[in-house]
Amino acid sequence: MNVFRLTGDLSHLAAIIILLLKIWKSRSCAGISGKSQFLFAIVFTTRYLDLFSSFISLYNTCMKVIYIGCSYATVYLIYLKFRATYDGNHDSFRVEFLVVPVGGLSVLINHDFSFLEILWTFSIYLESVAILPQLFMISKTGEAETITTHYLFCLGMYRALYLFNWIWRFYFEGFFDMIAIVAGVVQTVLYCDFFYLYVTKVLKGKKLSLPA
């Protein structure tokens, strides 16, 4: 494992912990897109079905279990535990516009036309756009809490670091996965505008505001 993958995984884990702590400590899921979190739960479920069929390493297995468990814990907190604080009116992105095209694309373009491979490809494509309901919600409300922006920044850093991971693996291991790389680039691009606002406003102690 190279340093970019490790730091990327840690950044991803930090994002998940930040979000869970935010919801639990404030007893509120205000400003959090339940639709994005539900899409992430689908991503991890479809990607890690190989938990039941293969073992790579203890680290790999633990991270998979953590991602799946935390994603469903977040969905539970938003839609059940703190449902009264969930802002469904602003979380109005039509997720079927993401899931249906991604599903079709994963059947058409994959490494191997098998059930698990199609589900893995589906998860890669879906993860690249799963954050859109959250970004749409922020743009609709016009602002975001600082803790929410920290979550998004860590999530974006995870994806950016994984791009360097792919570069490292190509040069030092000869490994190249076009599907993962293209999806990763798309996902990173979606964060670019947010990164700029984060650095210029949030890190200077200003509240992040976006045009509605």
Does the residue 208 lie in any domain? no
In the prediction, which pLDDT does 201 show? 55
Asked if 22 and 151 touch (Cβ cutoff 8 Å), the reply is yes
Which of 143, 107, 127 has the alpha carbon at shortest distance from 38?
127
The rounded Cα 45 to chain-centroid distance in angstroms is 13
In the prediction, which pLDDT does 83 show? 95
Does the residue 206 lie in any domain? no
Helix (H) or strand (E) holding 209: strand 208-209
Domain count, the chain: 1
Domain coverage including residue 38: 3-200
In the prediction, which pLDDT does 48 show? 95
In the prediction, which pLDDT does 204 show? 55
212 residues of the chain, pLDDT tens digit each: 899 999 999 999 999 999 999 999 999 999 899 999 999 999 999 999 988 888 889 999 999 999 999 999 999 999 999 999 999 999 999 999 999 999 999 999 999 999 999 999 999 999 999 999 998 888 877 666 777 788 888 998 998 899 899 999 999 998 889 999 999 899 888 887 777 666 665 555 555 555 44
Does the residue 102 lie in any domain? yes
In the prediction, which pLDDT does 140 show? 79
Does the residue 139 lie in any domain? yes
Span between the terminal Cα atoms of the chain, in Å = 42
> d(Cα 82, Cα 80) in Å, to the nearest integer?
6
